Copies of this chain bind each other. A is one copy, B any other.
Amino acid sequence: MSSNPTDAPNGPHVSRREFDALFETVRTWGRWAPEGRGAWNRVTADHVGRAAALVRSGTVVPMARPWDTTPGPDNGNPALHYMSDLGDVVAPEPSAHKDFIGADYHGKAVSHLDALSHIAYRGRFYGGGTARELVGAAGTRFGDVAALGSLVTRGVLLDLPAASGTTWLEPGQAVHAADILAAETALGVETGEGDAVLLRTGRFRRRREVGAWDLDAASAGLHVEAMPLLAERGIALLGSDGDSDVRPSPVEGLHSPVHTLAIAAMGVPLLDNLDLEALSAACAEAGRYAFLLLVAPLNVPGGTGSPVNPIAVL
């Protein structure tokens, strides 16, 4: 990175040229078929079987935040929830109670999956297709969430506050490759080919205790410097209780550099805004940080992602 590293907690600063070199380093275009499934192609039937074999206690831990209809500094596009039948529309017996839900789910509030069509860099999606040609009113023709199907694999929780003996990472704090390695050692787990890596920064514990803040202004998350390590490990999925990117961005002129590397270069979908508090407690109690992980997005043709409720089974 920069030869003049600053002391900024989100640093070091990365030039656009350095970033582009990184992009080339981790790029895996052309490796998979179907390409729109990206790194989920790493998860073979063998991986699935080994992941299922991780189940010990039978403890099931969902990770979706409550559907958030309350606007706030960390929820600019509140989700919609309306009752469409209070038991008085379809009549008379039995009474049927129904509701409408809706969400512009990308953003900082809804637990969701980013498909490969969510991000394009220099106009190109993962694999090289031109975003402008592939996206229209009916959605995207490359990298939609329907192309991902669902994921069953080994999940690894990198519980950064637990590993470092803190309560949470402060907003704006960057996580580097060395932090990942240290967390793996502290937690007794190592990330491997086809794994889903979940990074806990403690965001929702902090929110509960301190209140909401503007996550675009300051979020704990990965520095791009850590991405070659994750690329080497061959991960299939990256998730976080934030959106994986440290903010403000340390990269010149780029607002979501980790999104860019993961999705557009490596073909790795992201899970954003997971509530990892219960999983943190469950892993601590079980004394293990690897488990069966299941991600079952809605089957939206043309969709750039989906609200999800990922499940860990310990």
Contacts and interface: CB of A to CB of B under 8 A. Distances in A.
Interface of A: 44-49, 52-53, 55-60, 62, 64-67, 71, 75-78, 80-90, 92-106, 111, 117-123, 131-132, 135-140, 146, 149-152, 253-256, 259-260, 264, 292, 294, 296-311, 313
A81 B89 CA distance: 13
A4 B245 CA distance: 58
Given A46-B58, A67-B303, A95-B121, 10 more contacts: A45-B59, A52-B55, A64-B298, A86-B137, A89-B138, A93-B253, A97-B120, A98-B104, A99-B104, A101-B307
Contact of A48 (B45, B60, B76, B304): B60
A300 to B, nearest CB: 4
B49 A58 contact: yes
Contacts of A99: 104, 106, 139, 300, 302-305
A149 B63 CA distance: 10
Q: How many copies does the complex hold?
A: 4
A89 B104 CA distance: 14
Contacts of A306: 101
B49 A81 contact: no
B103 A101 contact: yes
9 contacts: A52-B53, A58-B152, A60-B149, A64-B296, A93-B254, A93-B260, A95-B120, A95-B131, A97-B304
Q: Tell which of A96, A105, A122, A298 has the most Cβ of chain B within 10 Å.
A: A298
Contact of A101 (B58, B122, B255, B298): B298
Contacts of A131: 87, 95, 97
Contacts of A65: 299
Contacts of A75: 71
Contact of A83 (B64, B135, B301): B135
Nearest to A118: B97
A264 B99 CA distance: 18
A48 B313 contact: yes
User: Which are the 9 A-B pairs with shortest beta-carbon distances?
Assistant: A102-B102, A45-B58, A82-B82, A48-B58, A52-B55, A64-B299, A86-B137, A67-B300, A296-B309
